[in-house]
Amino acid sequence: MRHLLCLFLILGLACNQSAVEKSNDKPSTDAKSDQTVKEKDNMGFNKLTKEEEHIIVNKGTERAFTGEFNNHYAKGLYTCKKCDAVLYRSETKFKSGCGWPSFDDEVSGAVKRVPDADGRRVEIVCNKCDGHLGHVFTGEKFTAKNTRHCVNSLSMSFIPEDKFERAIFASGCFWGTEHHLNKVDGVLAAVSGYIGGTVKNPTYKQICTGTTGHAEAVEVIYDPTKTSFEALAKLYFETHDPTQLNRQGPDIGTQYRSEVFYIGEEQREITLKLIKILKDKGLNVVTKLTEAPQFWDAEGYHQDYYKRKGTLPYCHTYKKKFD
């Protein structure tokens, strides 16, 4: 029944914006990473081909089953073709059989929902550049999240998992931590979220009770050819006070603790080295070091907080600590 429904949607209301649109994509058997140097337009966005512009700017739709990423299930990240913002993680992609790449969740804060003028469907666009992605549908019960982002392949690029690395830092309110780390050249995304607690996929309200054991933290996804874990870790220590226990400035509680959640032995050793340097300088560092468990994205309204507000962090200021 599910595939019959999808067939109906393809013929009728699925991802097609117009029944008379022609195909704007050709079948591809090799989904390519697009992490090369790209030519920019006069607005600072990536230059688009005519086919990409038709989809992303003019809100077109590629023909069903022809997109490069329709049957693509490699591990990695899907990014906006126009501005490179990280949109989807590969683990949220699923096979719907409806002819377009399908995801049941986005990177928190990366995708904006805009109801169509006729009220029949909800468009999804990149939250950074407003580039058209496709439409979002709910209630189809394909996955437990009961949500399907139906996305044009031409709206996206793909970065395989061996082309990026992750780091997770907690240093008080995640708004400030994210603000500083997101400005580093080579950082693909800095996502505010929760880690280290006992509740799966917690909410901010639960975190605020201080009883779940989570820390407010930031997952940094970065290009190791442009920056390094050590550079990010140094900035992390230089933009908060690692001598404060279970607090950062006016924010008090275990959820505001200083903690590095390392991914691999190399990150652990680098963090220990930096902590020793700070202790040798006379700082009583209380930063914890823990192997990273699952990271949960925070709600969308926490993402890019200071950028959206046009203000600066109230308790995360830069202070040089390393020579």
Per DSSP, helices labelled H in the chain are 2-11, 50-56, 174-181, 204-207, 229-238, 265-280, 305-309
Q: How confident is the model at residue 315, as a pLDDT?
A: 87
Which residues in the chain show pLDDT less than 50?
1-34
Which residues belong to the active site? Answer: 150, 173
Domain residue ranges of the chain, discontinuous segments joined by +: 45-161, 164-309
List C-alpha distances in Å: 136 to 15, 248, 273, 298. 9, 39, 46, 20
pLDDT value of residue 119: 85
- pLDDT in the model for residue 13: 43
Same fold, 45-161 and 164-309: no
Whether the CA torsion 200, 205, 211, 214 is positive or negative: it is positive
45-161: CATH homologous superfamily?
Peptide methionine sulfoxide reductase. (2.170.150.20)
Place of tokens 């997770």: 168
Pairing of strands 251-252, 165-171: unpaired
Is the separation of the CB atoms in 31 and 163 below 8 Å? no
Residue pair 46/8 in contact by the 8 Å Cβ criterion? no
CATH 3.30.2420.10 fits 164-309, yes or no: no
Q: What is the spatial distance between Cα 123 and Cα 131, in angstroms, rounded to a whole number?
A: 11
pTM for the model stands at: 0.84
**With b meaning 16 or more CB within 10 Å and e meaning fewer, what string describes 201-238?**
ebeeebbeeeebebbbbbbbbbeeeebebeebbbbbbb
